[in-house]
Structure 1
Amino acid sequence: MLNIVLFGPPGAGKGTQSQKLIAHYNLVHLSTGDLLRAQIAQGTELGLTAKKLMDEGLLVPDEVVIGMIDYALQAHKQTASGFIFDGFPRTVPQAERLDQLMAQHDSGINCMIALEVPEEELVARLLERGKTSGRPDDQDETKIRRRVTVYNTETAQVAGYYAAQKKFHALNGIGPIDSIFGQICAIIDQHKSPVPETPTAATRQVQA
């Protein structure tokens, strides 16, 4: 199974590349925001827990998010060739917990790819996008720069975690879409059959 963590600051083209990767490798897109909204809409126990916390202005804890990811993995395990994680994990504890979860599914994260684009280019792209997207956070330069700063801070931590596993790759996000896509595929194809850093459930049974 092919599992990819794709990171990129707002405006880096991550959404475009995600859709191409999903089609090319038959992956399921796992966005924590989408998962939260879906669980809330379905009225599941996890969704109700998340909604209660969000209504109180509290952050949804990692264990609830991991539970939602686990639910999605179970739902698509028989039909998907793998998963692309969008915007998660954002912290080292989340990355560690994700590794543990993937091990329970006898799988692991193949690689993390981060699209890198200079801040000024990101600001220009998002302000241009804001003319048609209707999103307030695409129309305010101060908010845009704050989002980029938050992303850079989060990615720096998680990048180090995956770099220690030799799974982190930074890629220039400026250039023709198809050219960037080809470079991403070349990286992914190097990691198609990794040995997960954390032991799989089957391995633990043998070791026991």
Structure 2
Amino acid sequence: MRIVLVGPPGAGKGTQATVLAETLSIPHISTGDLFRANISQKTELGQRAQAYMSKGDLVPDQVTIDMAKDRMEQPDAANGFLLDGFPRNVSQAEALDEILKAQGIKLDAVLDLEVEEDEVVKRIAGRRTCRKDNKHIFHVDYAAPKTEGVCDACGGELYQREDDSEATVRNRLDVYHTQTEPIIDFYKAQGLLVTIPALGEVKDVTQRAMDALKK
């Protein structure tokens, strides 16, 4: 099965991608992982990406497309994959269509994790991270520490990362609406789009996605 997962920041794409890929026994291919792997392994594509990133420039679409194409051609993706973070815009979606067409395969579904914008802001802006150990993360509403501002695990100070501020979150949402959201209409026109309500427990959202895929 070949799936694309889309949705705004804070919709739970990373969590659902991991669970769904494991359930379906297909590799989870995320843009972040592709960049980290290519850069750490010093591949030609990684070096090209690093050259742009080191100057603070955006990595061109073609570099991202080439990384994704290379990953999808690996043996473990022969029977399917789940794409997370790619395609990020209509140009990348069109390129993905061409890549799959050349291989004589096609997408089975595009799952759109739907969540209200205010809920996205609440989810992300409510995060609090431990200064001593960034692995310890709490939430003022959903996973509050026993003592406000103090990490349950090590007693470290909890703080709000700059990336998690409401202003940053709303800016990320603006970028999503402008750049990525148009691919929803692109895939809807192809009859591939399936909207999944992303509110609720992780297992419930996963079950909705699995039920939709079975149909």
TM-score by length of 2: 0.80
SS in 2 for 1:43: coil
Cα distance change, pair 148–81 in 1 and its aligned pair in 2 (3 A): same
Aligned residues: CA RMSD? 1.8
* Partner-residue secondary structure (3-state), 2:113: strand
Per the alignment, in what secondary structure is the counterpart of residue 169 of structure 1?
strand
Shift of the alpha carbon at 1:104?
A: 2.3
Residues 121, 166 of structure 2: 8 Å contact kept: yes
Say yes or no: does 1:110 pair with 2:108: yes
By how many angstroms is 1:152 displaced?
2.6
Question: Could you tell me how far apart the structure 1 residues matched to 2:11 and 2:52 are?
Answer: 31
Structure 1 residue 174 and structure 2 residue 174: aligned? no
Question: Structure 1 98/79 Cα, relative in aligned 2: closer, same or farther at 3 Å?
Answer: closer
More helix by proportion, 1 or 2?
1
Aligned with residue 136 of structure 1, among 162, 171, 177 = 162
Measured in 1, the distance between the counterparts of 2:57 and 2:11 equals 29
Q: Structure 1 length normalisation: TM-score?
A: 0.82
Deviation digits for residues 136-181 of structure 1 (CA, Å, limit 9, x no counterpart): 311x110011112222333431011101100012221112322221
Show structure 1 runs of 4+ deviating over 6 A: none
* Unmatched 5+ stretches in structure 2: 130-136, 139-159
- The answer to whether the aligner puts 1:154 opposite 2:179 as a matched pair is yes
Contact 1:27 1:80 in 2 (8 A): no
From the CA coordinates, give the structure whose radius of gyration is larger.
2
SS of equivalent residue, structure 1 residue 165? coil
| SS of 1:57 mapped into structure 2 | coil
